[in-house]
Chains A and B, each alone.
Chain A
């Protein structure tokens, strides 16, 4: 029987390129979790449950998109959570304290995030310092800057922000999403296009595959590496704006540890931490899996929310082992 199983697996391996396996595993996991939830809990098997996962995690999705770019080059960005917090803080203080108009605030916040990313990318590339250390410094810096603005939570009362926070886009059949979800999905679509149909995107994969080779092939390695951290900084700032919509407040303790959630989502989505292999669709699925775990735990009712962390931890172990196995067989 095992021989038949093996032959079946080989047949499967022939029809599905190995590079898609991690994404398919994540997709299968998501489907299995959804079905299991539907069987176990009343009212779980509802389209709105999935949409709520999107609504509650739109900001994480945007941040994880930026993280995907960075990890695809073989780097890491630990500063994203702090940049998210800084973005909510800048938004809140300018809107509430200084009465700036919402579009100007959003533009400034996005510029600040991108500039921070650009600076970190430049340091990483030109001084040849480990991304881990540089973005760790960026993480402390951005988090610290939050407290120079204020140590208390600042609530946002700007009409444009509150309107965006409360708007429900009806999809018919009682289903709805928030404007943030639309923003997040547009970001995913644009990012996927960039990764697969532009030179920048392909250079990202090439640098992740072998930086040395990319250099010798005459690819703009410096520009690519700096660009991914800029993209990540920009995405973090945008994630911060979306989080401001969601929370309607700015606070230095927002998004503590979000960088780890983002990294977890990217890894569960099948992107190799060593770079060069992975898909944005995987990242989307990774965020959905994380969100669905939270949903299941809230449906369960009796479990503490810390169980979320335990499940995420176990999943990460499983996926890292899976990547290892796939990588080992490739060799």
Chain B
């Protein structure tokens, strides 16, 4: 088989940030009409490679060739004009503008400088229809779901004569049906000869859609492989640079717990957010919450943490009634909440890892009782190694860390407080297999140590693997509470989510 000439070739790419070598001698090539997966753990350099390619960052070493000609883009706009369009994990569109406008802004059809709105709307509707999306293009983007917004972003990306389409974790907030729709679109674009660079942490998705893959580890190239010739186990081993054995450890089910009830919610509810529910969380117990996006998982957690006011019902902590009116009150009862929105809520990017870790503990102690530097270093060293935060340099600025490592820092900050109940909302979303296993193992260890954990995740396997008990949510209602016994499988869970009751 003669390989077609690559549309894009990057060779010997190097990029250094203050104190971090993000990329070192990385080669990468993309063929027309293929879906190419870029694989690697968090911090392996995937995002940096994409940013270097699209001109967000300059390169320190190496060169980029597009269609045989050397290029260096001054920014995303220049890259886009050359035919390289990017769709990011967070939808980077303007929610206040209409769908049609989001597709065409910056290159609206005009006559004498006047935007031809009819033309804009007609062509946007056409383009979206081509992606099997039949929506009113005059409504503001904010009136549609995240999945639709993602499709609009892709429509925008291909509306220009795109030759290379970069999809940076487009599926991380989509449900199964939406992912299938996205893949249909990707296959159609592939047939048109567009080269697609695809980044995702879901291995099944990679194997479903990609033709070839390039694996990075710690900013270096591991290799380039046809997807069909590399098994999932081999892939993971190459990504994390060690064998899978230590990931399999957790396969068994956690033993049942008979601890004292720690948090008891009775008929707790909030109009418009979640119907009244009753839930008991025991000491040392991991309670999983399963349900679709928007089924009320986060809302339930926020009520327990006092982030929203409950409309009805009551909460008792350790047998005594507790008014969890504010997060501060909840923290006083030993409840910690690690939110799913880690970038917006929590970390201070311009402080170091150490300072971020100490922040909550210091706040809880009060500013009049400062922690000694020695004590700080001791604590930080312990958690940096326990959670395997990389780079293991406590004085590194948090903004220089990759997403997965930032997540670990946030988690460590709450763990330092030694809470009695830890609420984790999607702690492993957008995180690679290695870090995921580390976080799962940590949760298991914490619960062995007597900490109660409320674990929210969209991945049913993960919920099943960790939880002693699973609460199933559907349409903002806690529909079932299932003991994690041998009869509980992902199929049963899915059926419960779908039908609203265990059959």
Mutual binders A and B: yes
**Which stretch, A108-116, A207-215, A283-291, A297-305, touches the partner chain B?**
A207-215
Q: Is the CB of A197 within 8 A of B76?
A: no
Complex: A209 Cα to B105 Cα, angstroms? 13
- Does chain A have a CB within 8 A of B227? no
Complex: A219 Cα to B80 Cα, angstroms? 11
Chain A nearest CB, measured from B501 CB (Å)? 31
Given A202, A216, A220, A330, which contacts B142 in the complex, CB threshold below 8 Å?
Answer: A330
Q: B residues within 8 A CB of A330? A: 142
Q: B residues within 8 A CB of A208? A: 96
> Known contacts being A202-B101, A216-B86, is A209 close to B115, with CB within 8 Å?
no
Q: Is the CB of B97 within 8 A of A199?
A: no
Q: A residues within 8 A CB of B88? A: 216
Q: Is the CB of A205 within 8 A of B106?
A: no
Name the prevailing secondary structure of the A interface residues. Answer: helix
Q: Is the CB of A213 within 8 A of B77?
A: no
Complex: A168 Cα to B77 Cα, angstroms? 51
- Does chain B have a CB within 8 A of A261? no
- Does chain A have a CB within 8 A of B382? no
30 A-B pairs within 8 Å (CB atoms) are namely A197-B114, A197-B117, A199-B106, A199-B110, A202-B105, A202-B108, A202-B115, A203-B106, A205-B96, A205-B97, A206-B94, A206-B105, A209-B95, A209-B97, A210-B94, A212-B92, A213-B92, A213-B93, A215-B76, A216-B88, A217-B76, A217-B92, A217-B94, A217-B106, A218-B75, A218-B80, A218-B81, A219-B77, A219-B106, A276-B94
- Does chain B have a CB within 8 A of A198? yes
Besides A217-B93, A217-B106, 13 more A-B contacts (Cβ < 8 Å) are: A202-B101, A202-B105, A205-B96, A206-B105, A209-B94, A209-B95, A216-B86, A217-B92, A217-B94, A218-B77, A219-B106, A276-B94, A276-B96
Count A interface residues, CB 8 Å.
Answer: 24
Complex: A206 Cα to B101 Cα, angstroms? 10
Q: Is the CB of B115 within 8 A of A199?
A: yes
Closest to A276 in B: B96
- Does chain A have a CB within 8 A of B113? yes
- Does chain A have a CB within 8 A of B156? yes
Closest to B75 in A: A218
> Known contacts being A198-B114, A205-B97, A209-B97, is A217 close to B156, with CB within 8 Å?
yes
B-side residues, CB < 8 A to A, are: 75-77, 80-81, 86, 88, 92-97, 101, 105-106, 108, 110, 113-115, 117, 140, 142, 156
Closest to A193 in B: B114
Q: Is the CB of B105 within 8 A of A203?
A: yes
> Known contacts being A19-B140, A199-B115, is A206 close to B97, with CB within 8 Å?
yes
- Does chain B have a CB within 8 A of A277? yes
Chain A nearest CB, measured from B48 CB (Å)? 16
Please name the 6 residue pairs, one residue from A and one from B, whose CB atoms are nearest each other, closest first.
A218-B77, A209-B94, A209-B96, A276-B96, A213-B92, A216-B92
Complex: A164 Cα to B56 Cα, angstroms? 53
Complex: A277 Cα to B142 Cα, angstroms? 13
Q: B residues within 8 A CB of A216? A: 76, 86, 88, 92
Complex: A215 Cα to B54 Cα, angstroms? 13
Complex: A4 Cα to B142 Cα, angstroms? 28
Complex: A209 Cα to B98 Cα, angstroms? 11
Chain B nearest CB, measured from A128 CB (Å)? 14
Given B76, B115, B140, which contacts A218 in the complex, CB threshold below 8 Å?
Answer: B76
Q: Is the CB of A213 within 8 A of B94?
A: yes
Chain A nearest CB, measured from B412 CB (Å)? 28
Q: What are the interface flags for A216-229 relative to B under an 8 Å C-beta threshold, 1 for contact and 0 otherwise? A: 11111000000000
Q: B residues within 8 A CB of A276? A: 94, 96
Closest to B143 in A: A330
Question: Chain B CB within 10 Å — which of A196, A206, A208, A212 has the most?
Answer: A206
Chain A nearest CB, measured from B12 CB (Å)? 27
Q: A residues within 8 A CB of B97? A: 202, 205-206, 209
Closest to A206 in B: B94
